[in-house]
Amino acid sequence: MAGKIVTKRDMNRWLKSYLKGDCGEIMVESLLNLDGYKTTPASKKQNIYGHYDIIVSKENFGRKKVDIKSDKKLSNRSITKDLVVIEHMGSATRYGERVAVKGWLHAHSDYIAFIKEFDRKVYFIEREPLKLWLLRKYPPPDSYLDACTSCLRPGEWCTRIFDGEYKKDLFIFVSINEIMRGYIGDTILFDVEDSMMDEYIYDLKRIDRLDLKTLISECYDLRIRVDKIRLYAEQNPESALIEHRIRRELGLVNDEVFV
């Protein structure tokens, strides 16, 4: 990664992603707790390598691992509405080189919780039946080089290009309604009260408006996902560079902030 320049835009995007993820997790955990479920946060290693955020338990339900997915944007202005993004292949940086890795569709979660703003619901979909249905309905290409790079057409496999380089991921936009009609698996559906969803949407918009200094303050002063930031920094050189710049901006010279 020698010579890699981490810009303020990189830092903005990275920190906002963490803060928005926390908003979704807080809302989903609140819904589950109100309905009598017990929730336990996943460890940092479970979160990164197992691709799940919380462990949910209840009598006659057992103990299940849940990965929480907030609404994604097709652009800076448009929410995907009834669409969800499903990741077949992800990417990671190893020894300074970007490589393809299995995405969350093939991970260790039992359920995927999709937060949908358009109908104010949270859909808990079983991951393994979702995988079987999706790969049968939309067979992925053999290589990310055969995927679309515009990311605008539902039902078509996509990849991303950053700084003129393929990110080597593979993902697809699919309607949540199509999933509900087609896949054979268990579904748990939560209607989100207007006040709770409004607060969630307000928090997302508030995060979008934050400047870099405030983002840094929220992520560190409130200790939001700090342990995950550390692990990412250890595993991903690009993230390590971002963390180094954040620490330099804050004037941090030791690890006491992480305690």
pLDDT of the residue at 174:
93
Q: Is 257 within the bounds of a domain?
A: no
Q: Check whether 77 has a pLDDT greater than 60.
A: no
Where would I find the beta strands (DSSP E) of 14-82? 38-41, 54-58, 62-69
Q: Name the most confidently modeled range: 41-55, 83-97, 106-120.
A: 106-120
Q: Is 253 within the bounds of a domain?
A: no
Q: Check whether 5 has a pLDDT greater than 80.
A: no
The mean per-residue pLDDT over the stretch 213-229 comes to 61
Interatomic CA distance for residues 205 and 211, integer angstroms = 13
Q: Is 212 within the bounds of a domain?
A: no
The mean per-residue pLDDT over the stretch 186-194 comes to 93
Q: Is 250 within the bounds of a domain?
A: no
Total domains present in the chain: 1
Interatomic CA distance for residues 103 and 77, integer angstroms = 26
Q: Residue 243 carries which side chain, given as an amino acid letter?
A: E
Residue 124: pLDDT band (50, 70, 90) is very high
Q: Check whether 224 has a pLDDT greater than 70.
A: no
Interatomic CA distance for residues 68 and 107, integer angstroms = 13
pLDDT of the residue at 145:
78
Q: Is 151 within the bounds of a domain?
A: yes
Q: Is 35 within the bounds of a domain?
A: yes
Phi-psi region of 51 (alpha: psi -120 to 50; beta: other; left: phi over 0): left
The range of the structural domain enclosing residue 37 comes to 24-206
8 burial (CB, 10 Å; 0-12 / 13-18 / 19+) is exposed
pLDDT of the residue at 2:
44
Q: Check whether 230 has a pLDDT greater than 70.
A: no
Q: Check whether 239 has a pLDDT greater than 60.
A: no
pLDDT of the residue at 257:
34
Percentage of the chain beyond pLDDT 70 is 72
Q: Is 217 within the bounds of a domain?
A: no
Q: Is 6 within the bounds of a domain?
A: no
The average confidence (pLDDT) of the chain is 79
Largest CA distance in the chain: 55
For residue range 47-63, what is the model confidence (pLDDT) as tens digits? 878 889 999 999 999 99
pLDDT of the residue at 95:
64
Residue 232: pLDDT band (50, 70, 90) is low
For residue range 135-179, what is the model confidence (pLDDT) as tens digits? 999 999 888 778 887 766 788 898 877 666 666 788 999 999 999
Residue 87: pLDDT band (50, 70, 90) is very high
